Amino acid sequence: TIALQHGAHRIGVRTDADMARWRSLRFGQFIHWGVYAIPGGEWKGKTYNGAAEWIRSWKELPHEEYDNLYRQFNPVNFDAQQWASQAKEMGAKYMIITTKHHDGFCLWPSKYSKYTIAASPYKKDLLGPMVAAYNKAGIDVYLYFSIIDWSHPDYRASLKTAADSAANKRFQVFVKNQLAELLQRYPTVKGFWFDGTWDDSWKRDGAFTDELEQYLQSIHPGLVMGSRLRADEKGARHFDSNGRLMGDYEQGWERKLPEKIEDVHGNDWEAVMTVPENQWGYNAQWAGHIKTANELLEMLVKSVSLNGNFVLNFGPKADGTFRTEEQQLMTQIGQWMKINGEAVYNGTYAGFEKQDWGYYIRKAGTDSVYMVVFNIPVSGSLRVKMPAHTSLVSVSLQQQTLTPELIGRNEYFIHLSGKQSDTPVVILLKTTSGENKEKGNFEKAK
């Protein structure tokens, strides 16, 4: 291994209570909200094909015009209580809010910037009521913070001159001040979700990123921060130059999921997902494929089955309301979670051989293994192959006991004959360690 001053400081997962809490939550709500919701992916009758929150980079929308949109930002229909209750209904256990996206507009009245909600017609802080309402609903809050800040005169993507380096130094102080300000204003937040850390100006100063993470932990112990914040002193990101994860969990799964357990290398990880193909901020068009509740439930369940968290994104409108399709998704997902959430919350990798019918999830620290079925086979028979040294004690589907058929050594069919369902079916396996007793209390193979 290479001697590193600013690489990973820990080998293996974080084991403290704050991280265990993050791990138990499993299902989060992402919210992308800012002045980009005003154009909503369109401008003067033209449609921007990129992600709506990136519209400032579109040549059809002059920076001058975009940078004055805040004068119209007045979310009179914003109701933090309503936001929190619909998130609770969906079954989200944490929420990540964009305090400031790449455009630099702050949803809180930062004393380090003029480009904030305080300068808008709305004037009032948006984050305070949000954090209070979500926490009251039993939902933890994490703060998305973009390091890139297109509004700040000292932001540099690369450092070519001494003047650039001086500006970057001033910018680093600005970043540190804003992050400390957020923790001071919102002390109940549980962590940061950093973004916009790919520019050379950031990744070349591994020492600063390391010191910043340690500074934030020192003023707010227990913070959970993913792998996007830091670079090591050789510019490596997410994984240091020795291949070790930096930060508390792998934060690279954006609009994509791992396929198998080997893909996550024993690390904690989180996937963040959009409902359309690639829109985070409000986009009026919502062209292309819009994911259904069942598709999104499968992504959630697949993530948990591979020992990760899943965060679903919403893009509220400029007036502070959610589009109908997003409200309907929260309701539909919530209906399934209300009955089956026990299979998701505190879920972990079960160690069973993957089968085509769906996913296994083990309730952390227990012998309870859930089968979440997305594909009922034409045979109606769900194959279950017990891992070595694990035997099956009972099988149930919503309190109804099922009798599996032993079809081989440690292998069963669970018969769902005639069962149809238009939402995922959950079966609970009670297991115990130790070899299967040959005379298991199940039907012998016919």
Residue in 144, 252, 155, 158 with CA at minimum distance from that of residue 201: 158
Q: In the chain, what are the helix, strand and coil shares in percent, each to the nearest 5? A: 30, 25, 50
Bridge partners for 260 per DSSP: none
Strands lying side by side in the sheet with 425-433: 347-348, 358-363, 368-373, 425-433, 390-397, 400-402
Q: Give 268-321 as a DSSP string.
A: -EEEEE-SSSS--S--SS--SPPPPHHHHHHHHHHHHHTTEEEEEEE---TTSP
Question: Smallest distance from the beta carbon of 136 to ligand 1KN, in angstroms?
Answer: 26
- Scan residues 51-90 and list those touching ligand 1KN (CB under 6 A): 51, 53-54
Residue 59 CB neighbours (<10 A)? 5
Question: Smallest distance from the beta carbon of 53 to ligand 1KN, in angstroms?
Answer: 5
Determine if 371 is a binding residue for ligand 1KN (CB under 6 A).
no
Question: Smallest distance from the beta carbon of 70 to ligand 1KN, in angstroms?
Answer: 18
Closest CB to ligand 1KN among 254 and 411? 254
Closest CB to ligand 1KN among 317 and 363? 317
In the set 195, 205, 232, 298, which binds ligand 1KN (CB under 6 A)?
195
Question: Smallest distance from the beta carbon of 272 to ligand 1KN, in angstroms?
Answer: 6
Stretch that binds ligand 1KN, among 48-56, 130-138, 180-188, 433-441 (CB under 6 A): 48-56
User: What H or E segment, with its residue span, contains residue 30?
Assistant: strand 27-31
Q: Are strands 94-100 and 27-31 parallel, antiparallel or unpaired?
A: parallel
Mask 242-281, x = binds ligand 1KN (CB under 6 A)?
Answer: ------------x-----------------x-------x-
- Scan residues 25-44 and list those touching ligand 1KN (CB under 6 A): 32
Measured CA to CA, the distance from residue 385 to residue 403 in angstroms comes to: 15
3-state secondary structure (DSSP) of residue 183: helix
Closest CB to ligand 1KN among 53 and 181? 53
Question: Smallest distance from the beta carbon of 14 to ligand 1KN, in angstroms?
Answer: 22
Stretch that binds ligand 1KN, among 47-55, 208-216, 284-292, 323-331 (CB under 6 A): 47-55
Question: Smallest distance from the beta carbon of 37 to ligand 1KN, in angstroms?
Answer: 13
Closest CB to ligand 1KN among 134 and 280? 280
Compute CA distances 387 → 4, 371, 394, 409, 425, whole Å: 40, 14, 15, 11, 22
Q: Please identify which residue in the block is written with the tokens 């400032």.
A: 56
- By CB under 6 A, the count of residues binding ligand 1KN is 8
Binding site for ligand 1KN (CB under 6 A): 32, 51, 53-54, 195, 254, 272, 280
